[in-house]
C-alpha cells in the first residue's frame, strides 16, 4: 500500500508481481479501483457553453452519451488537469478529473461557476456542479472484459462502442458504464453509488478478472502513450506541446472562446517551443527527469519511462525542443551519468485494442 493523493492505495495485490499483473490485463482482464478520482456532474441550461469555456473541446457537437478526453486550461493555456468529459444532454455532463488535482480543480470550477453564473449566461438558470463524493469508480480492462461483463447484463455491449456510455443494468444495479480506460485495452469504467461499490466490485472481480494495482496501471498507460498528470502534463504545458491538439475542436482552433485560447493559438500558429514525444531507449530505462541530448546540448527531459513489459524494450516519453520531435530522430538520454541511445518513436507503443463496433 502506498499513499497516493490522500488515499492509501495498492501498488499490487497479493503475490502477483507487476509484470504478471500487467500481462494479465493485456491477455485477460484486470479490475482497477479508481475511486480516488473525482467524479462530478455539471447541470444547467448553459452547461455545454460553460464547459466549452473551461475546455477547448467541441462539446456542442458531441453526441449524448459520448465521452472525450479534454483539458482544463489556465489563462495562459497551460493544462490545469486532463479530464474525461461525458455528455449526457446539452444541459448535463459527467466529468472525471484527477485525484491529485482535486483541490486545484474544484477551486477552479467553483471560481469559474461563480463568474459564469453572475453574468447573463445564467439568465435561464445557473450551471451547477455536484461532486459525487465517495462514489466508487472501477475500471474493468482487457480483452476478456466485455465477455465477462456481458454475462452479467442483458444490455447488448456490442452497441456500446469505444468512447460511449450508458446506464447498464447489472445484477440488479443500474450503473453508469463508459467504454474506455487508461490501458489501451478494450474496457469499461463503471461509476457506482457509495452503498453499492463493494458489492459490485466483488461481482466484477471473479475469475478470470484479477485485481490490478497502481504499478500495472502506470506501465499499461505508458505503453498506451497516455499522459500522467504531474509527470507528463503540468500548468506550464499547453495541449499543443503535449501532443493533445486533437482534443481541441476543429472549429474552436480558429475562433473558440475558451480560457487560455490565446496561448494555445499562438502555439498552433507558430509551432510550440517543445513537443511531447515517445522514445525507445537502449540499455538502461530512462526515468522521469533524465536529460535528453543532441550531441552535447540538452534539448529536453524525460517525463515518464519504464522497461515495457509487453515489448521488452525501454519506453519513455518526454519533451524535446521543437524540430527534434520527428519520428526516427536519434538522440541520447543520460542515465546514471552515461549516455544511452534514444530514438523518437510514435505513440502508442502498444497498438490499442478498442471496441469500435
Partner 1 sequence: MSRSGLPHLIFFAFVRWFYPGSFLITSSWFRSSHMQSILRRTLAPSNPLLRCQVNVTPRAFRPFGLRTIVTKKYTVEHECVSFDDSTGLGVISITDHAQSSLGDVVFVELPQVGTVVAQHDQIGAVESVKAASDIYAPVSGQVEEINETLADQPGLLNKSPEEKGWLCKIKLSDPSELEKLMNKEEYEASYEH
Residues that bind partner 1 (CB under 8 A): 2-4, 11-12, 17-20, 22, 100, 214-215, 218-219, 222, 228, 230-231, 283-290, 304-307, 309, 314, 336
d(CA 140, CA 28): 11
Strand locations in 36-101 (E) = 38-43, 66-73, 79-89, 92-97
| Minimum CB distance to partner 1, residue 100 (Å) | 8
| Minimum CB distance to partner 1, residue 175 (Å) | 28
| Minimum CB distance to partner 1, residue 287 (Å) | 3
269 Cβ contact partners less than 8 Å away, ≥ 6 residues apart: none
Nearer to partner 1, 3 or 357 (CB): 3
| Minimum CB distance to partner 1, residue 221 (Å) | 10
| Minimum CB distance to partner 1, residue 182 (Å) | 13
Nearer to partner 1, 143 or 230 (CB): 230
Best CA proximity match to 72, nearest among 80, 60, 62: 80
Integer angstrom CA distances of residue 64 from 52, 53, 88, 295, 346: 15, 19, 5, 51, 32
Nearer to partner 1, 13 or 155 (CB): 13
Integer angstrom CA distances of residue 177 from 137, 145, 238, 312: 10, 12, 30, 33
Nearer to partner 1, 181 or 215 (CB): 215
Strand partners, 321: 274
Nearer to partner 1, 181 or 213 (CB): 213
CB atoms within 10 A of CB 350: 20
For residues 284-303, one letter each, b for 16 or more C-beta atoms within 10 angstroms of the residue's C-beta and e for the rest, the string is ebbbbebbbebeeeebbbbb
| Minimum CB distance to partner 1, residue 98 (Å) | 11
For residues 215-243, one letter each, b for 16 or more C-beta atoms within 10 angstroms of the residue's C-beta and e for the rest, the string is bbbbbbbbbbbbbbbebbbeeebbbbbbb
Nearer to partner 1, 29 or 302 (CB): 302
Q: Return the C-alpha cell found at 258.
A: 475558451
Nearer to partner 1, 56 or 318 (CB): 318
| Minimum CB distance to partner 1, residue 272 (Å) | 25
Looking from the CA of 145 toward its CB, the CA atoms found within 13 Å total 32
d(CA 284, CA 314): 7
Nearer to partner 1, 76 or 313 (CB): 313
| Minimum CB distance to partner 1, residue 227 (Å) | 12
Q: Return the C-alpha cell found at 238.
A: 499547453
Nearer to partner 1, 11 or 203 (CB): 11
| Minimum CB distance to partner 1, residue 308 (Å) | 8
Integer angstrom CA distances of residue 258 from 262, 268, 290: 9, 15, 34
Integer angstrom CA distances of residue 143 from 69, 209, 345: 22, 11, 25
Amino acid at each position: 500500500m502506498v499513499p497516493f493523493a490522500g488515499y492509501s492505495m495498492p501498488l499490487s495485490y497479493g503475490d502477483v508481481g507487476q509484470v504478471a499483473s500487467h500481462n494479465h490485463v493485456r491477455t485477460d482482464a484486470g479490475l482497477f479501483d479508481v475511486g480516488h478520482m473525482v467524479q462530478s456532474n455539471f447541470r444547467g441550461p448553459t452547461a455545454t457553453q460553460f464547459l466549452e469555456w473551461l475546455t477547448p473541446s467541441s462539446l456542442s457537437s458531441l453526441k449524448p452519451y459520448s465521452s472525450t478526453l479534454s483539458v482544463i486550461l489556465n489563462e495562459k493555456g497551460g493544462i490545469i488537469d486532463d479530464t474525461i468529459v461525458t455528455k449526457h444532454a446539452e444541459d448535463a455532463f459527467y466529468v472525471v478529473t484527477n485525484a491529485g488535482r482535486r483541490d486545484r480543480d474544484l477551486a477552479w470550477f467553483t471560481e469559474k461557476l461563480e463568474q459564469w453564473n453572475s453574468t447573463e449566461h445564467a439568465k435561464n438558470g445557473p450551471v451547477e456542479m455536484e461532486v459525487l463524493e465517495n462514489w466508487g469508480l472501477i475500471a474493468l480492462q482487457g480483452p476478456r472484459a466485455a465477455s465477462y461483463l456481458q454475462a452479467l447484463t442483458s444490455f447488448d455491449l456490442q452497441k456500446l462502442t469505444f468512447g460511449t456510455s450508458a446506464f447498464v443494468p447489472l445484477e440488479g444495479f443500474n450503473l453508469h458504464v463508459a467504454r474506455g480506460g487508461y490501458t489501451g485495452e478494450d474496457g469499461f469504467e463503471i461509476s457506482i453509488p457509495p452503498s453499492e461499490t463493494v458489492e459490485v466490485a466483488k461481482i466484477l472481480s471473479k475469475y478470470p478478472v484479477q485485481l490490478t494495482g497502481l504499478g500495472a496501471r502506470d506501465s499499461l498507460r505508458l505503453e498506451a502513450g497516455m499522459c500522467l498528470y504531474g509527470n507528463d502534463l503540468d500548468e506550464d504545458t499547453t495541449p499543443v506541446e503535449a501532443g493533445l491538439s486533437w482534443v481541441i475542436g476543429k472549429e474552436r482552433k480558429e475562433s473558440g472562446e475558451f480560457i487560455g485560447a490565446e496561448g494555445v493559438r499562438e502555439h498552433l500558429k507558430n509551432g510550440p517551443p517543445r513537443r511531447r514525444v515517445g522514445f525507445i531507449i537502449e540499455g538502461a530505462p530512462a526515468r522521469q527527469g533524465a536529460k535528453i541530448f543532441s550531441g552535447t546540448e540538452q534539448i529536453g527531459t524525460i517525463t515518464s519511462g519504464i522497461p515495457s513489459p509487453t515489448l521488452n524494450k525501454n519506453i519513455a516519453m518526454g519533451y524535446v525542443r521543437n524540430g527534434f520531435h520527428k519520428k526516427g530522430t536519434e538522440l541520447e538520454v543520460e542515465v546514471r551519468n552515461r549516455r544511452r541511445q534514444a530514438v523518437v518513436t510514435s505513440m502508442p507503443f502498444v497498438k490499442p485494442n478498442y471496441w469500435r463496433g
